[in-house]
Structure 1
């Protein structure tokens, strides 16, 4: 019997750190996905900013069926269609429009839209979206904003991204409304270009050890 797709909240609960990946060569995607999973990271986002992004998601799905792989920078209904056809299990966007929300609802895709203000949180909630990307978090600065929002929107779970480095992560994960942060530092471009899978696995192991509240 097939299992139901995971909700966005359940996906975020699988990892304390979600790698945000920009891939220019889909031929490396399968090995990269396996390196991340070997390091204990089972959720990652591939941004739709390169011609290879769709093929990369497809390769990752094939190489690591146990992982949840999303596509980011979705900004139009057409982007949602491409992500869905690529097999992405969730979508991520820098913001939210009425048209984008409708497309996500039509495809029943788990979704993480970006917000930066309380008004944007309210708009997302009006569409039934309560798992949100806080962007840009600006490194350690965003933790104070999220702490304030936990009192105003206790039903919302945030995934902050933007400038977050390992030293900042414990402050975020200690908050009641944050169980995951996003970051690109787990897959540095030099390690990816060198296909240093052992080095990437080591960084994934470091990321997977962070404790949530």
Structure 2
């Protein structure tokens, strides 16, 4: 099993995906893979999310599937049973982190303040999600954290676009970014996997 820090090194961009149909999962993962992206975060924002995770893990090799928007009791365990290889949370409560730890899966806990980052670091987490990145201070904020918190690395998510992703990736404490622009809902609805592949190639070039 990969460590959480290794999850951040799989691809310069982790696609943050909302799926309306489980049947979209496998062709989506394959399109991302053809474009050079070998990881995907399926968010628990629709009822089909866990089924989508099951389909990708069963049918697509060499793509690490994470489950994001883990916010409620029991979700971490369900994600693990579905085959998730890592977990992502938008925020960090003690109960949520306890349940994530119980699964044994690498976890990227969400933080947006220095105090939150210190608190999760005290629990042994060193690879964190910075969310919501742009509203919470963006590039200048993360740049300011590099010196006082040298042992932490971040995956900023929230307001990341192809236009600003490069500025985040240039920071010494950022290993990758999370973004939804690689998998536009309109493209998924139309089954336009060529567009997804093209967007994945562009994202890889950012790194």
Contact 1:33 1:63 in 2 (8 A): no
Give the aligned partner of residue 33 of structure 2.
37
In structure 1, distance between residues paired with 2:179 and 2:11: 12
Of 116, 124, 130, which residue of structure 1 is paired with 2:120? Answer: 124
In structure 1, distance between residues paired with 2:163 and 2:16: 18
Per the TM alignment, residue 76 of structure 1 is displaced from its structure 2 partner at its CA by: 2.9
- C-alpha distance after superposition, 1:9-40 (max 9, x if no partner): 11110110111000110011011100000100
Q: Structure 1 residue 94 and structure 2 residue 97: aligned?
A: no
1:15-30 to 2 correspondences below 5 Å: 15-30=11-26
Give the aligned partner of residue 200 of structure 1.
196
- C-alpha distance after superposition, 1:65-106 (max 9, x if no partner): 211110011123401111101110000111111111111222
Per the TM alignment, residue 207 of structure 1 is displaced from its structure 2 partner at its CA by: 0.3
**What is the TM-score of this pair, normalised by structure 2?**
0.97
> Do the aligned partners of residues 202 and 140 (structure 1) sit closer, same or farther apart at CA in structure 2, a change above 3 Å counting?
farther
Per the TM alignment, residue 63 of structure 1 is displaced from its structure 2 partner at its CA by: 2.5
Give the aligned partner of residue 134 of structure 1.
130
In structure 2, distance between residues paired with 1:63 and 1:144: 41
In structure 2, distance between residues paired with 1:95 and 1:68: 22
Q: Which sections of structure 1, spanning at least 5 residues, go unmatched?
A: none
Cα RMSD of the aligned pairs, angstroms, is 1.3
Contact 2:25 2:55 in 1 (8 A): yes
Per the TM alignment, residue 140 of structure 1 is displaced from its structure 2 partner at its CA by: 10
In structure 1, distance between residues paired with 2:116 and 2:135: 20
Q: Structure 1 residue 115 and structure 2 residue 136: aligned?
A: no
Per the TM alignment, residue 179 of structure 1 is displaced from its structure 2 partner at its CA by: 1.5
1:36-55 to 2 correspondences below 5 Å: 36-55=32-51
Give the aligned partner of residue 60 of structure 2.
64
Q: Structure 1 residue 181 and structure 2 residue 177: aligned?
A: yes
Of 75, 80, 84, which residue of structure 2 is paired with 1:84? Answer: 80
Give the aligned partner of residue 166 of structure 1.
162
Contact 1:16 1:181 in 2 (8 A): yes
Contact 2:112 2:136 in 1 (8 A): no
In structure 2, distance between residues paired with 1:141 and 1:127: 24
